[in-house]
Amino acid sequence: MTDGTGALFALNEDQIAIRDMARAFAAEKLAPHAVEWDAKKHFPVEEMREAAELGMGGIYCGEEFGGSGLTRFDAALIFEALAQGCPTVSAFISIHNMATWMVDKYGTPEQRARWVPGLCRMDKFASYCLTEPNAGSDAAALKTRARLDGDYYILDGQKQFISGAGHPDDFYVVMARSGGDGPRGISTFVVEGGTPGLSFGANEYKMGWNAQPTRAVIFEECRIPVANRIGEEGMGFKIAMSGLDGGRLNITACSIGGAQTTIDKSIAYMRERKAFGKRLDEFQALQFRLADMAIELEAARTFLWRAAAALDRKDPDATQLCAMAKRFGTDTGFKVANEALQLHGGYGYLSEYGIEKIVRDLRVHQILEGTNEIMRLIVARGLIGDGK
């Protein structure tokens, strides 16, 4: 694509340079350590701050307060490239970018000047706090309360499955109920790490995504200034959903990047491994299997680019396209990675080959940023209406 509009399926020189920069960073800083970070549950703070030095802490934030001012299409290229090194790290940087953009997009000039520069440098690591123990797919049913008390709000409640939670350099964009039931009673708040009344659950033991912490975030009489509210009261659900359009594209890109690595690893393995006197890449059945993996992944990538260009243009069907791309791309990414594990045989099941880690990492992409069942619901409502 030459201008991010979807008119031509070719990258321009700037886009190629952005992609190659991210690929080089991933190959040097992420890929060599990905398996070890997974095993040790290591959160690679310094490497992510190095990524921020290259402009990846506020990719689509405005340049006024330190953002890179790039497009959602550019971001898709970056997150796919980073995920070729480690999907877990790429996914956390995606979440950080989503939360940072929400502050930059909806914050006042004073709020943006206060928070966005440090977030773009990743001095602080931003987490997105929407999901609750009893409000996942039905996010508008969240129960965390924000009670106005003079010049402060007092937050009470709990958020669940929060990536990055509990790190000393933490920063939370929180959706809480400041009004009545339903989406119009929700507002958005910033809660900075160290605020009294903010605490955390234990770091969860997970199937994948082990290089980023996941904890419950707990608010008990957590007192924050009114100046920490982002946007007007009642805008929180709209703000949360607008962030998710881009987040869904980012996580799709992470799925595609991780799956691409498994294809690359499979080709290298098949060229070396022999069976029945022939290299594996000489068996036509396996060639066809590899071809199908590449075809399906390229279809997912093309879909991602289409949706990203639509979001950049603010097309009226952008939300629906983002949901379509997320459902198709994350399902395809996991399927391709799982096929790659099968092509590796028993070796694919061993951690040292790096395939099983990617399979575990990509599985959660079908759940987060809205489950793929919810993506189908969004698409269906776009096609036939919501019945109201």
Of 6-20, 131-145, 272-286, 310-324, the range with the lowest mean pLDDT is: 6-20
Express each pLDDT in 333-384 by its tens digit.
999 999 999 999 999 999 999 999 999 999 999 999 999 999 999 999 999 9
Q: How far apart are CA 367 and CA 163, in angstroms?
A: 14
> How do strand 125-129 and strand 186-192 relate by DSSP bridges?
unpaired
* Residue keyed to tokens 């198709």: 328
| Residue 4 pLDDT exceeds 80 | no
Q: Does residue 273 carry a pLDDT above 50?
A: yes
Mean pLDDT over residues 267-276, rounded? 96
Query: Would you say how long the chain is, in residues?
Result: 388
Rounded distance, CA 340 to CA 293, Å? 8
What's the rounded mean pLDDT across residues 21-46? Answer: 98
What is the tens place of the pLDDT at every residue in 152-171?
999 999 999 999 999 999 99
Residue 8, pLDDT > 60, answer no
Catalytic residue among 272, 282, 369, 373: 369
Give the helix/strand (H/E) hosting 309.
Answer: helix 284-313
Exposure string (b/e) for 240-265, b if CB count within 10 Å is 16 or more?
Answer: bebbbbbbbbbbbbbbbbbbbbbbeb
Q: What's the pLDDT score for residue 140?
A: 86
pLDDT at 135 over 90: no
Mean pLDDT of 172-186: 95
Q: Under 8 Å CB-to-CB from 24, ≥6 apart: which residues? A: none
pLDDT at 211: 98
Residue 386: band (very low, low, confident or very high) from pLDDT cuts 50, 70, 90: low
Q: Provide the pLDDT for residue 3.
A: 47
Mean pLDDT taken over the chain: 95
pLDDT score, position 7: 45
What domains can be seen in the chain, in order of their start residue? 13-123 (1.10.540.10), 126-236 (2.40.110.10), 241-384 (1.20.140.10)
Q: Per-residue pLDDT for 6 more than 50?
A: no
- Mark whether 369 is an active-site residue: yes
Residue 129 has a pLDDT of 97
Looking at per-residue pLDDT, the higher value among 225 and 386 belongs to: 225
Of residues 4 and 158, more confidence is placed in 158
The answer for residues whose C-beta is within 8 angstroms of residue 67's C-beta and 6 or more apart is: 58, 59, 60, 61, 100, 104, 116, 120
Per-residue confidence (pLDDT) for residue 1, from 0 to 100: 46
**Mean pLDDT computed over 311-321:** 96
DSSP characters over 269-301: HHHH-EETTEEGGG-HHHHHHHHHHHHHHHHHH
> With bands split at pLDDT 50, 70 and 90, how would you rate the model's confidence at 2?
very low
pLDDT higher than threshold 60 for residue 388: no
| Residues of the chain above pLDDT 70, percent | 97
pLDDT of residue 205: 96
Q: Supply the pLDDT for residue 200.
A: 98
Average pLDDT of the residues in 107-111: 97
State residue 10's pLDDT score: 85
Cα(56)–Cα(47) distance, rounded to whole angstroms?
A: 11
